[in-house]
């Protein structure tokens, strides 16, 4: 009889195909067939998403800075650590479908007198059967959150590489401005000396001298502004590299890095699969959708059905039970169990409302992220 009951319970758990809550489907975004401004870059044969960042800049200094940023940036390290946390939560969610075995020691009254107690010591088995799919939905949500954290880290890396490269190019541009400004100051100082020599010879006028002085003063005023901008840019780059504000070692007198021609952009529909920030946003929407099923499963009147068991010793004295002498008895019991919440004061209903609202927020955030990505691509192309 017990064997048939156990077999039936396991069969119900394994064959229960229903899972409460909606199934996730990607929202229909009705994307245009091409980007605005895409015709400017379609002559290239490769999509920019197929080119690694190490191939996009043929500059050894910039490549070294990018490698250092990937290794040391704190935001990227935080994102990678979040993956470990999400992976742990996913493993916890997977373990919920398996039985738990724990040691237990309990006492219960066995007679009318206060001293008439019995003690039990043994192993306790509990197994919640996922008939209504609550645990599966929880596992789906945890898995989607893990994928979102992984794509989130990829998005952080992409942003880090782009920001670091842009900051480096700005720094090299300021270096070139500083070189040009110093050269202009030297040239204008020589011009002023020449005008003064001509003035002493009676060839030039005082107005020409004052004009040369004003021009030199205006150029000299640009010098501290450029130097201040260089320090600020170096500090920003130091932060991206995970270090304290300080100078950035570089060949400031060298030529600017060669930026390659813009490759083609690909299709907007491909953007949903290739951009990690869009994938992370979609996985967050998928997780929020699965959480609706978990909330519905926790709502009245869905019952929780499981299997429980006890394997151990029972005695009338705690010391005898612990020592397992002849007074104790070996006991083995198991069977199904069920619980049905009757009154929860609206917690279940409001839990479903909150889960649906969170899913709607995730859907709106996904659409906003896609639109922002399309804007960024169009701006970059044009």
Query: pLDDT of the chain along its 382 residues, tens only?
Result: 444 544 545 554 444 456 778 888 888 887 777 777 666 555 454 555 556 666 667 778 888 899 999 999 999 999 999 999 999 988 888 888 788 777 766 666 655 555 556 666 667 777 777 777 788 888 889 999 999 999 999 999 988 998 999 999 999 999 999 999 999 999 999 999 999 988 888 888 889 889 999 999 999 999 999 999 999 999 999 999 998 888 888 876 666 666 555 556 667 777 777 788 888 999 999 999 998 988 887 775 556 666 666 666 565 665 555 555 555 666 666 667 666 666 677 777 888 889 999 999 999 999 988 888 888 777 777 7
The encoded tokens of residue 19 equal 């899972």
In the sheet with 329-339, reading across from the earlier edge strand, the strands are 100-109, 117-129, 304-315, 329-339
What's the pLDDT score for residue 189?
A: 93
Residue with tokens 């060949």: 251
What's the pLDDT score for residue 15?
A: 45
Please, what is the Cα angle at 200 between 195 and 202, to 5 degrees?
90
What's the pLDDT score for residue 1?
A: 44
What's the pLDDT score for residue 2?
A: 47
How far apart are the C-alpha atoms of 109 and 128, rounded to whole Å? 28
Which residues does 42 contact at the CB level (< 8 Å), separation at least 6?
264, 265
What's the pLDDT score for residue 311?
A: 64
Cα dihedral 36, 40, 42, 45 sign: negative
How far apart are the C-alpha atoms of 184 and 320, rounded to whole Å? 99
CA dihedral 304, 305, 310, 314 (to 10 degrees): 70
What's the pLDDT score for residue 5?
A: 47
Cβ neighbours of 117 (radius 10 Å):
15
| CB-based contact 62:258 (threshold 8 Å) | no
pTM across the whole model: 0.71
CB-neighbour burial class of residue 69 (10 A; exposed 0-12, middle 13-18, buried 19+): buried
| CB-based contact 337:307 (threshold 8 Å) | yes
What's the pLDDT score for residue 201?
A: 85
Domains of the chain: 2-381 (1.20.1600.10)
């Amino acid at each position: 009889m017990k064997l048939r009951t156990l077999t039936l319970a396991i069969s119900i758990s394994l064959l229960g195909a229903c899972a409460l809550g909606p199934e996730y489907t990607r929202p229909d975004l009705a994307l245009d067939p091409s980007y605005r401004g895409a015709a400017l870059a379609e002559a290239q044969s490769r999509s920019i998403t197929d080119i690694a960042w190490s191939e996009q800049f043929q500059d050894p200094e910039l490549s070294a800075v990018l490698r250092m940023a990937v290794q040391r940036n704190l935001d990227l390290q935080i994102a990678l650590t979040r993956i470990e946390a999400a992976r742990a939560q996913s493993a916890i969610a997977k373990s919920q479908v398996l039985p738990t075995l724990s040691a237990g020691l309990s006492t219960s009254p066995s007679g009318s007198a206060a001293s008439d107690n019995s003690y039990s010591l043994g192993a306790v088995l509990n197994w919640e059967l996922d008939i209504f799919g609550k645990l599966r939905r929880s596992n789906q949500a945890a898995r989607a959150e893990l994928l979102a954290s992984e794509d989130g880290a990829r998005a952080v890396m992409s942003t880090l590489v782009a920001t670091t490269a842009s900051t480096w190019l700005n720094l090299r541009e300021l270096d070139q401005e500083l070189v040009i400004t110093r050269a202009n100051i030297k040239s204008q100082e020589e011009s002023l000396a020449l005008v003064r020599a001509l003035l002493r010879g009676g060839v030039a006028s005082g107005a020409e001298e004052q004009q040369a002085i004003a021009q030199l003063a205006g150029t000299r005023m640009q010098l501290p502004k450029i130097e201040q901008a260089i320090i600020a840019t170096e500090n920003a780059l130091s932060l991206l590299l995970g270090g304290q504000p300080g100078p950035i070692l570089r060949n400031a007198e060298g030529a600017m890095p060669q930026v390659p021609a813009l490759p083609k952009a690909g299709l907007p529909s491909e953007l949903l699969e290739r951009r990690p920030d869009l994938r992370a946003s979609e996985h967050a929407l998928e997780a929020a959708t699965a959480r609706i099923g978990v909330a519905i499963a926790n709502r009245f009147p869905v019952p929780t059905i499981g299997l429980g068991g006890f394997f151990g010793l029972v005695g009338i004295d705690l010391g005898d039970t612990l020592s397992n002498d002849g007074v104790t008895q070996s006991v083995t019991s198991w069977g199904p169990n069920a619980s049905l919440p009757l009154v929860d004061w609206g917690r279940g209903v409001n839990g479903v409302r909150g889960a649906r609202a969170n899913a709607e927020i995730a859907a709106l955030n996904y659409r906003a992220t896609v639109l922002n990505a399309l804007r960024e691509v169009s701006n970059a192309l044009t």
